[in-house]
Amino acid sequence: MNVLAPAFFYGSYEIVRAWLLEKIQLRATQRQRFSFERAGDRLGLPLCMVQEWCSSWQAVVVSLEKRADRRRRVAALFEPYPWLLERLHWLPAVCGQSLAPERLVPHLLSNVHSEEQEAKPRYEMLGGTSTCWNHDWLHMTPGAVGCALSHRVLWESFPQHAAASDQDWLLVLEDDLLWVASDLAQRLGEVLRHLPEGWHLCYLGWHGQGVIHLALGDAGPLTTVGPLEPWSGDTPLGTFAYLVSRAGAKALLQAGSAFPLRRQLDAQLSQLCVDGSLRR
């Protein structure tokens, strides 16, 4: 079952991301006393988490190797939560710019156009050349493909390592987080206590225009926490913060589930929620 938890992470829209990061960098400079790269020994933050699973549960932040600036900002956001930092690892994300997406068809990437022109293939080789034309470039960007494959790496590695270390779930984060609730431990504990048996995926945040005010400190704290509820998938919630169970990771890897990818990953997961694929 896929569920929506009381939101305690906030993610951003791409259109305001660069501007927000610049503003937050200015405000957070004095708080960024450590980085993932320099505090590995003290905080247990290796460069790659795949071979460093700890017991009980684990958190992973997905980040491109070149984006040390984002990892420093995430580290600053989680500085008040040492219990989370101790379990937080960095997974180097797949760089979509280094991929030839057409070579991922058909096993990892669908060649069906995602817009109205479904009769037109997404990727089409130009006759007499070695060039491939992407008819869907506005939607299925290299970055979107790289992001989806990065999450797939986690889903593939988690079940086998989880079985050896008796882990039941994984907290997955992306490096574009902008805000974290001050009572994070309490909210996460409530979520874990109320998750239904056989759950697969649990969203832990949302994005929208309100993120601008929260990130810049222009809004008051959230005082209401709603109950867990099944998610209909009507609107993609983003992949910047979610819980996935061991069974959920296996379900996402089943052929015809999340892959081959037809939409960007958040929209693909929402569709799985609608059609009931993410069930025990």
Give per-residue pLDDT as tens, 146-199: 999 999 999 998 887 776 667 889 999 999 888 888 888 888 888 888 888 888
Is 56 a domain residue?
A: yes
Distance CA 47, CA 218 (A): 34
Calculate the average pLDDT of the chain: 72
Total domain count for the chain?
A: 1
* Location of structure tokens 């305001």: 16
> For residue 280, is it within any domain?
no
Structural domain harbouring 219: 2-275
pLDDT per residue over 46-58, tens digit each? 333 333 444 578 8
Report the Cα 126 to chain-centroid distance in Å: 34
Per residue in 241-252, pLDDT (tens digit) is 999 999 999 999
Q: What is the pLDDT of residues 105-155, one digit of tens each?
A: 888 888 877 666 667 787 777 777 777 777 776 678 889 999 999 999 999
Is the bond preceding residue 106 a cis peptide, omega within 30 degrees?
Answer: yes
**Domain CATH code at residue 61:** 3.90.550
In angstroms, the CA 280 to CA 275 distance is: 13
C-alpha to C-alpha distances, 6 to 58, 181, 191, nearest whole angstrom = 20, 11, 8
- In this prediction, residue 268 carries a pLDDT of 87
- Would you say residue 65 has pLDDT above 70? yes
Question: SS3 for 79-98, per residue?
Answer: CCCHHHHCCEEEEECCCHHH
